């Protein structure tokens, strides 16, 4: 009845969970899940729990209807994508619903693989990608991560890894499907955000998930007028994607190792990957005549063939624009809280992985998303020791 290409194009706009049994149960499950997802964020719309003033209002160039809003109580309001004509037809017409479910079944959209692809988009968008914004105060104020896309990637990657630890325990073939599709959604979102940073548009292009105010796009002119030739070459986008791929692989490998060994190894992984390895060359005291700038050098991206030919002294003293570097002598007191930060983050990782372990496979694959949301590192706003 419907051309296959049209069905495939429009399917992603349907409610995110599709049942395996029949069309009636499919619609009821999807509507129930959407109501549960929307129930918690709706509370943040009350006047007593207004949006964080540092959210959408700080980025006037972003469309507020497509920007993640974080309430004062830490709840996230994920922007709702408008229904297209096919979704509206399926939701309102029994006839359209019947024939669409028949057509989608013939195309294999009720298979475990396709169901995993739909479900993991919800998991990524509403569980992993919201964390940098909901925990902005901790990562930017306590850990001194700058408001850059690199910081957003680092925090999101940590929670992506914690969720995949649980997904890998799903029975086969679900575990393989869920991990792979979650990774696909992650890197589709990364590519979309990289292009938005390197190739800004006025107004910004529609995001894969939502606009985040955790980081600032430095390439958008203050006057809102783009200059000719501002489009970055595709090779630069490809290179950045390769860099983030290697960071994802390396970070996941070391967190797996730390999780399987001991808290000391896990803390060292936190220090290197989340805290910028600040102080790896020693702490610069006021009377030690230190260089004005020192940072960790990470040879990634496949551009370095022979590391022995790299001038590390020059690289260490060069600002790479990440905003993560050693503290200057007048701020060395910040190193004192590093052991506490590492302890807090390690405790948080162990606690959240243990919590996810207790959630059943059925709830992971079909249950309400609210049960999977990550808790705050400091639930009461105080340091947990």
How many CB atoms are located within 10 Å of the residue 45 CB? 12
Using a 10 angstrom Cβ sphere, with 0-12 exposed, 13-18 middle and 19 or more buried, the burial of residue 159 is buried
What DSSP state is assigned to residue 51?
B
Provide the pLDDT confidence category of residue 361 given band limits of 50, 70 and 90: very high
Percentage of residues of the chain with pLDDT beyond 70: 69
Least confident of 13-27, 143-157, 221-235, 275-289: 13-27
Residue 54 pLDDT > 60: no
| Structure confidence at residue 336 (pLDDT) | 87
User: What is the per-residue pLDDT for 108?
Assistant: 65
Cα(9)–Cα(7) distance, integer angstroms: 5
Res 25: pLDDT: 40
- Residue 132 binned pLDDT confidence (cut-offs 50, 70, 90): very high
Measure the CA–CA gap between 247 and 80, rounded to whole angstroms.
Answer: 31
Q: What is the mean pLDDT of the chain?
A: 76
- Model confidence pLDDT, tens digit, residues 279-289: 877 787 877 66
Q: Kindly report the CA angle at 125 between 155 and 68, in degrees rounded to 5?
A: 80
Residues 45, 36: Cα–Cα separation, whole Å: 16
Most confidently modeled range among 70-84, 309-323, 356-370: 356-370
* Alpha-carbon gap, residue 71 to 77, rounded angstroms: 8
Q: Can you give the pLDDT at residue 121? A: 94
- Where residue 323 falls (left for φ over 0; alpha for ψ -120 to 50; beta otherwise) is left
> Would strands 69-70 and 76-77 be described as parallel, antiparallel, or unpaired?
antiparallel
Q: Check whether 307 has a pLDDT greater than 70.
A: no
Which run of H or of E encompasses 69?
Answer: strand 69-70
Q: Residue 24: which H helix or E strand, with range?
A: helix 23-43
C-alpha closest to that of 112 among 48, 173, 190: 173
> What pLDDT is attached to residue 280?
77
In which element (H, E) is residue 77 found?
strand 76-77
Query: What pLDDT score does 383 carry?
Result: 40
Q: Give yes or no for a contact between 187 and 167, defined as CB atoms under 8 angstroms apart.
A: no
| pLDDT value of position 12 | 43
Q: What is the structure's pLDDT at 2?
A: 43
Q: How confident is the model at residue 225 (pLDDT cuts 50, 70, 90)?
A: confident
CA separation for the pair 40, 34 (Å, rounded): 11
Instruction: State yes or no: cis peptide before 203, omega within 30 of 0.
Output: yes
Burial category of 303 from C-beta neighbours within 10 Å (exposed 0-12, middle 13-18, buried 19 and up): exposed
- Predicted TM-score (pTM) of this structure: 0.75
Three-state SS for 70?
strand
pLDDT tens, position by position, 29-39: 334 434 443 44
Q: CA end-to-end span of the chain, whole Å?
A: 62
Give per-residue pLDDT as tens, 190-219. 999 999 888 888 777 888 999 999 998 888
The more confident residue out of 245 and 29 is 245
Following DSSP, what letter does each residue of 291-327 receive, concatenated? -S--------SS--S-GGGS-HHHHHTS--SS---PP
């Amino acid at each position: 009845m419907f051309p296959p290409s049209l069905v495939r194009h429009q399917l992603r706009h349907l409610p995110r969970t599709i049942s395996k049994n029949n069309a009636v149960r499919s619609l009821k499950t999807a509507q129930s899940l959407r109501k549960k997802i929307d129930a918690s964020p709706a509370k943040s719309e009350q006047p007593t729990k207004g949006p964080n003033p540092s959210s959408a209002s700080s980025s006037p160039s972003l469309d507020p209807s497509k920007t993640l809003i974080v309430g004062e109580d830490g709840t996230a309001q994920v922007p709702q994508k408008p229904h297209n004509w096919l979704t509206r037809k399926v939701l309102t017409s029994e006839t359209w619903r019947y024939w669409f479910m028949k057509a989608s079944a013939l195309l294999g959209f009720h298979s475990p693989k396709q169901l995993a692809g739909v479900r993991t988009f919800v998991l990524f968008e509403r569980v992993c990608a919201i964390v940098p914004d909901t925990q902005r105060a901790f990562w930017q104020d306590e850990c001194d991560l700058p408001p850059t896309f690199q910081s957003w990637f680092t925090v999101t990657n940590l929670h992506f890894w914690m969720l995949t630890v649980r997904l890998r325990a799903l029975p086969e073939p679900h575990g393989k499907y869920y991990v792979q599709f979650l990774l696909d959604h992650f890197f589709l979102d990364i590519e979309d955000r990289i292009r938005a940073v390197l190739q800004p548009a006025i107004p910004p292009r529609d995001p894969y998930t939502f606009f985040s105010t955790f980081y600032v796009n430095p390439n958008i002119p203050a006057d809102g007028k783009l200059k000719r030739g501002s489009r970055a070459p595709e090779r630069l986008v490809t290179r950045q994607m390769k860099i983030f791929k290697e960071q994802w692989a390396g970070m996941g490998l070391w967190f797996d190792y730390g999780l399987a060994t001991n808290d000391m190894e896990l803390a060292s992984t936190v220090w290197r990957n989340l805290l910028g390895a600040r102080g790896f060359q020693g702490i610069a005291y006021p009377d030690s005549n230190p260089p004005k700038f020192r940072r960790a050098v990470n040879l990634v991206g496949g551009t370095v063939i022979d590391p022995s030919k790299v001038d590390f002294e020059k690289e260490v003293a060069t600002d790479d624009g990440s905003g993560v570097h050693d503290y200057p002598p007048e701020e060395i007191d910040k190193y004192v809280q590093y052991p506490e930060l590492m302890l807090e983050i390690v405790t948080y990782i162990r606690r959240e992985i243990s919590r996810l372990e207790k959630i059943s496979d059925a709830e992971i694959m079909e249950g309400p998303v609210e049960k999977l949301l990550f808790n705050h590192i400091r639930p009461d706003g105080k340091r947990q020791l």
